[in-house]
Amino acid sequence: MLKTRIIYNWGVNALSGIYDVIIVGAGASGIFTAYELSRNNPKVRILMIEKGHSLDKRVCPIDGDKIKSCIQCRVCNIMNGYGGAGSLSDGKYNITNSFGGDLYKYVGRDEAIALMEYVDEVLCSMGGADAKLYSTHNSELKGKALQHDLHLLDAKVRHLGTDRNLIILGNIFAYLSDKVEMLFDTEVKEISRTESGFSVETAGGTYESSNMVLATGRSGSKWVSKMCGKLGVQTESNRVDIGVRVELPAEVFEHITQEVYESKIVYKTSKYGDMVRTFCMNPHGEVVSENTNGIVTVNGHSYSDPKLHTDNTNFALLVSNHFTEPFKDSNEYGESIARLSNMLGGGVIVQRFGDLVKGRRTNEKRMEKSFTVPTLKATPGDLSLVIPKRQLDDIIEMIYALNNIAPGTANEDTLLYGVEVKFYNSKVDVDNNLETAIKGLYVLGDASGVTHSLSQASASGVYLARVLGEKYKNQ
């Protein structure tokens, strides 16, 4: 007999134990699966299970004045909880097939764009309508970049900001609260196949469903690989992106950020022929640390409220790394570099660009003289002792290239934080419905390795909800 219990979930009083659909993970893809399925098929019984906190409890300890660096909470509030890693991000939704994942390969290019535009409509209806929609399509920046062998990728982007993003997620939660049962602070220990579908085991109970949706995001990469291995679902090694977060005075990129807000620029280095790209640009934003599987890495975000703006802009420079025989675990490679940074710096390391190119360590005395004031308390150090030479050479070359379109990027006091690592889940073998070879088992969003962005992860949730909705259209 299945257990039931009372839970804290802002509106639902008890769990019934047996469902039509169980969603593991309450990030972007999971939330939009629940939203779209409950909207179109209100009688479908849905349970969402999340190992992190509900939105109101997602507070990072280092947001206060007493704690200045990551204390490695068992479950990171930056990465886990309602809304997933996107909740406390700066809420950038890029509408494009040029980056952010390969959803178009499964659903078609036009359908992928249509799904992302629908996600944008939902976000606007939930409180994001005042956020400006930027576009690179007619930007003069593209031509200027090409003159220096820099390639600006086409995209429309709506920047919600961390503050507005939380309001929108709260509104979506309020909508779902009486339609979907949600279980927080609960880790799924095991998933098993049953005669009627699937069984989910947690510390507090066991729940069954006809359909199982794995939507755990990037932070659940190891867990998804483990579950797929046990269930016999094929996976393929993906890439890992390694680099630094750059912080400099906002004026350096102001002419770019005011026009397109976030510029996704790709550069092929002359020395190695490697691809380096800008990622997650945050005008007037803050650099932050985050905990992924016990490893502290660096990230960034920004707010929509001008009163919360800083004097700096930050963005990542990332080099993609792919591996074949005999080594295939790209995430382990990224983790080993991040662990080295944690070992040497006790967390995140910061270095002035001028010190890096001169081959000297940044220390407290040099940081005190820096005209660029850091927004994250990090350990001054030497990134050349952490990041492999090839990737570091790529990053230095990219900074000089960017200096051609944004003079000041290569200034001595430009700050580099390390390391920034973007882990990608192993690509799960799914069909055009995002269904595995096991009937009724779906993997979507960043958990599948198919998407790498908030917009595409959310769109994959909408797409799957409509696929599932066909099963229950007469219910």
Write down all domains in the chain, each with its CATH number in brackets. 18-134+156-236+426-471 (3.50.50.60), 240-423 (no CATH)
Contacts by 223-228 with C-beta closer than 8 Å and gap 24+?
223/188, 224/425, 224/426, 224/428, 224/443, 224/447, 224/448, 225/425, 225/426, 227/191, 228/426, 228/428, 228/436, 228/443
Sheet containing strand 133-135, edge to edge, reads: 92-95, 156-159, 133-135
pLDDT tens, position by position, for the chain (475 residues)? 233 333 434 333 345 589 999 999 999 999 999 999 999 999 999 999 999 999 988 888 766 555 556 677 878 887 889 998 888 788 899 999 999 999 999 999 999 999 999 999 999 999 999 999 999 887 789 999 999 999 999 999 999 998 999 999 999 999 999 999 999 999 999 999 999 999 999 998 999 999 999 999 878 888 998 999 999 999 987 778 999 999 999 999 999 999 999 899 999 999 999 999 999 999 999 999 988 778 889 999 999 899 999 999 999 999 987 776 666 677 788 889 999 999 999 889 999 999 999 999 999 999 999 999 999 999 999 999 999 999 999 999 999 999 999 999 999 999 999 999 887 778 899 999 999 999 999 999 999 999 999 999 999 999 999 999 999 887 6
Residue at 249: amino acid letter = P
Round to whole Å and give the CA distance between 44 and 26.
18
Q: What's the pTM?
A: 0.85
